[in-house]
Amino acid sequence: MYIKGVNISTKLLIIGIDGATFNVIRPLSKSGYLPNLTKFMEEGTSGELLSTMPPISGPAWHAFKTGKNPGQTGVYDFMRYDPQSYQTRLIHIAKIQGLRLWDIIEFYSDFKIGIYNLPTTYPPDKIKGFMVAGFPLLDDVQDYTYPLKLKSELDELTGGHRVDIRFKNYKSCRDFLEAANEIIDQRVKIYHYLKEKYNPELFIFVFTSTDRIQHHMWKYMDPNNPPTDSKGKHYRKLLQNYWKHLDGAVGELLSSVDESTTVIVMSDHGFGPQAEMFYINKWLLNHGYLKLKEKKEWSKSSKNSLKCKLREMLKFFEFPEVLRYFTQKIIKRYLTEEIPFQKILPHIDWSQTQAYTPPHTSVFGTVYLNLKGREGKGSVDQCDYDNLRNKLILELQSLNDEIPSLEIKVFKREDLYKGRYLEEAPDLIYVINNFRCISQTSICEGEPFKTESLGKNYSGTHRLEGIFIAKGPYIKQGHWIGQSEITDITPTVLHILNIPILDDTDGKVLKEIFTPNSELARRKIHLVNVKNEIKSKNQALLSDQKIHRFLEDLGYL
């Protein structure tokens, strides 16, 4: 029996490392750069933590804090698509109502909870303890802490609290990494301050600069394709030292807790190279699924000739990184025959269009059918829905034969998701070359498949396989559990804290991490039926173009 207000002696620390992957951690561990994480893995249980599909920080961190798949929450992206208007809007994921991990803990206990820099938590909740909201945040936002006065305390403590780091603000990769190292030191100072002031029983503390660094500098740290030139080797060494610095910070956090505390180190997704792009709307146009009112020739022009010359210049001349960044932006915006979806919209003949793809985070690919009754100008009858989807799947999969270097996997939405918001998912979701190839919704010149990265300073993107490492009084030592899912974290944490689990939770308790015959291994899993009243999702819509540009700078849009 559970009584609200019961005191629980167990403490738990969750350390998030955004985008961390064993593909980076293992070789660094072997080379001696990560003594603290290496020891932590040896003394605990580890495994790959599978992200949401797609592996995007917004849906992934929301799945972490709810234990539910996107089909139950409606969070498939940082954006929400309205097929009636054919418009995409950014959303405040934190405002989407539903019980989060801390809501359940607060209901059943007197736990004091501390949350620092957890993505998708703005605006912060008023919890028993504190919350410092995480990405996406604007640099000038003021109300991202609860209590509100905590912001001024952090500013005073650090000489100016830094909420995030953006590559474009720095002249070089070296400057970017120096700033990232400074943020690590700032985070450690903040951790000790918050722990001493609040002493939370549950403390969630997230490092996010790892994600930013890997997006922009993966090519220098790729374990399967290490750089051979002197510049690349230099940056690789700087990155190794960054990870060593981060490992030292994690070590400080680990040493701050006693042996009765259970600690989990995890990531929201993994990482890998990005070197290809697929323009899905161009492919749909070529195959007759997308129709325009007038024919437009996507031919090479003098603009494209100038574009090529400028790109060649960037290869052979050493420009400051900030100048290189803006030059790439100018080339893409003004000198490329690439038409964004929003500019295509007025020219689409919806009466003849069967399938299309609206803007979304570029990590994955989607296709929507122009369905009657759902889309504002639908043309596809409901009775043709299944046949058309199957036809599209076969034609997309035929790309595997047409392009030898391409491997495409196509999924129906019901193969990936379940729940009340299944109907809001795209009709088809696809992945090309294990996310190495990102999806673009603009219409490009030439062929739809291109072997190029999103930009000169963009070489990494997300993968499904994140990390899970746990250590505690009842956790197996030196154990590997294979793969678990990010939705498993919430029910596992609740089980450790002896708090009931909602019966509609998708994740499972990771019983295999507990030592045999221990209290946690023997403890019965308690499920409860809690009706969760969902408020109107319209409250979650955003119109802030600054946030849109922020996500665009990260290569997400």
What does each of the 557 residues of the chain score in pLDDT, given as a tens digit? 344 444 445 799 999 999 999 999 999 999 999 999 999 999 999 999 999 999 999 999 999 999 999 999 999 998 899 999 999 988 878 777 789 999 999 999 999 999 999 999 999 999 999 999 998 887 778 899 999 999 999 999 999 999 888 888 888 999 999 999 999 999 999 999 999 999 999 999 999 999 999 999 999 999 999 999 999 999 999 999 999 999 999 999 999 999 999 999 999 999 999 999 999 999 999 999 999 998 655 444 434 444 555 555 555 555 555 555 556 655 555 455 688 998 999 999 999 999 999 999 888 999 999 999 999 999 999 999 999 999 999 999 999 999 888 999 999 999 999 999 999 999 999 999 999 999 999 998 889 999 999 888 899 999 999 999 999 999 999 999 999 999 999 999 999 999 999 999 999 999 999 999 999 999 999 999 865 433 333 334 444 555 555 556 555 55
Check: CB of residue 336 under 8 Å from CB of residue 272. no
Cα angle 427-452-220, degrees, rounded to a multiple of 5: 110
Q: How far apart are CA 357 and CA 364, in angstroms?
A: 12
- Mind listing the pLDDT tens digit for each residue in 96-129? 778 999 999 999 999 999 999 999 999 999 999 9
Instruction: Return the closest-CA partner of residue 52 out of 341, 411, 408, 433.
Output: 411
- 395, 421, 452 - which closes a domain: 452
| 3 assigned to some structural domain | no
Q: How far apart are CA 530 and CA 499, in angstroms?
A: 13
Instruction: Return the closest-CA partner of residue 116 out of 40, 59, 200.
Output: 200
- Alpha helical stretches, state H, 100-229: 101-108, 150-158, 173-198, 209-221
Q: What is the pLDDT of residue 548?
A: 55
Number of domains the chain contains: 2
Three-state secondary structure call for residue 78: coil
Q: Are 195 and 241 contained in the same domain? A: yes
Q: Two tokens at 378?
A: 């639908």
- 395, 420, 452 - which closes a domain: 452
- 393, 417, 452 - which closes a domain: 452
| 457 assigned to some structural domain | no
Q: Are 404 and 481 contained in the same domain? A: no
Q: Are 126 and 180 contained in the same domain? A: yes
Instruction: Return the closest-CA partner of residue 321 out of 178, 456, 162.
Output: 456
Three-state secondary structure call for residue 297: coil
Q: Are 222 and 280 contained in the same domain? A: no
- Mind listing the pLDDT tens digit for each residue in 226-241? 999 999 999 999 999 9
Torsion over CA: 69, 72, 77, 78 (sign) = negative
Q: Are 128 and 17 contained in the same domain? A: yes
Q: Are 265 and 208 contained in the same domain? A: yes
Check: CB of residue 104 under 8 Å from CB of residue 502. yes
Check: CB of residue 311 under 8 Å from CB of residue 330. no
Q: Two tokens at 131?
A: 């919350």
Q: What is the pLDDT of residue 184?
A: 98
Q: Are 402 and 500 contained in the same domain? A: no
Check: CB of residue 266 under 8 Å from CB of residue 50. no
Stated pTM of the model: 0.89
Q: Are 221 and 268 contained in the same domain? A: yes
Q: How far apart are CA 68 and CA 52, in angstroms?
A: 10
- Going by C-beta distance under 8 Å and a sequence separation of 6 or more, which residues neighbour residue 537? 74, 80, 91, 96
Check: CB of residue 115 under 8 Å from CB of residue 127. yes
| 314 assigned to some structural domain | no
Q: Are 38 and 59 contained in the same domain? A: yes
Q: What CATH number should be reported for the domain holding residue 528?
A: 3.40.720.10
| 24 assigned to some structural domain | yes
| 358 assigned to some structural domain | yes
Burial of 252 (0-12, 13-18, 19+ CB in 10 A): middle
| 430 assigned to some structural domain | yes
Q: What is the pLDDT of residue 314?
A: 55
Check: CB of residue 481 under 8 Å from CB of residue 47. yes
CA 257 to chain centre: 28
Which residue range is the domain that position 443 belongs to?
Answer: 276-299+337-452
Q: Are 400 and 490 contained in the same domain? A: no
Q: What is the pLDDT of residue 500?
A: 94
Compute CA distances 483 → 21, 28, 72, 201, whole Å.
Answer: 13, 21, 22, 28
Q: Are 351 and 390 contained in the same domain? A: yes
| 1 assigned to some structural domain | no
Check: CB of residue 20 under 8 Å from CB of residue 210. yes
Q: Are 363 and 223 contained in the same domain? A: no
| 305 assigned to some structural domain | no
Three-state secondary structure call for residue 411: strand
Q: What is the pLDDT of residue 96?
A: 79
Three-state secondary structure call for residue 9: coil
Strand partners, 91: 541
Give the 3-state DSSP-derived string for 367-403, with helices as H, strands as E and coil as C: EEECEECCECCCCECHHHHHHHHHHHHHHHHCHHHHC
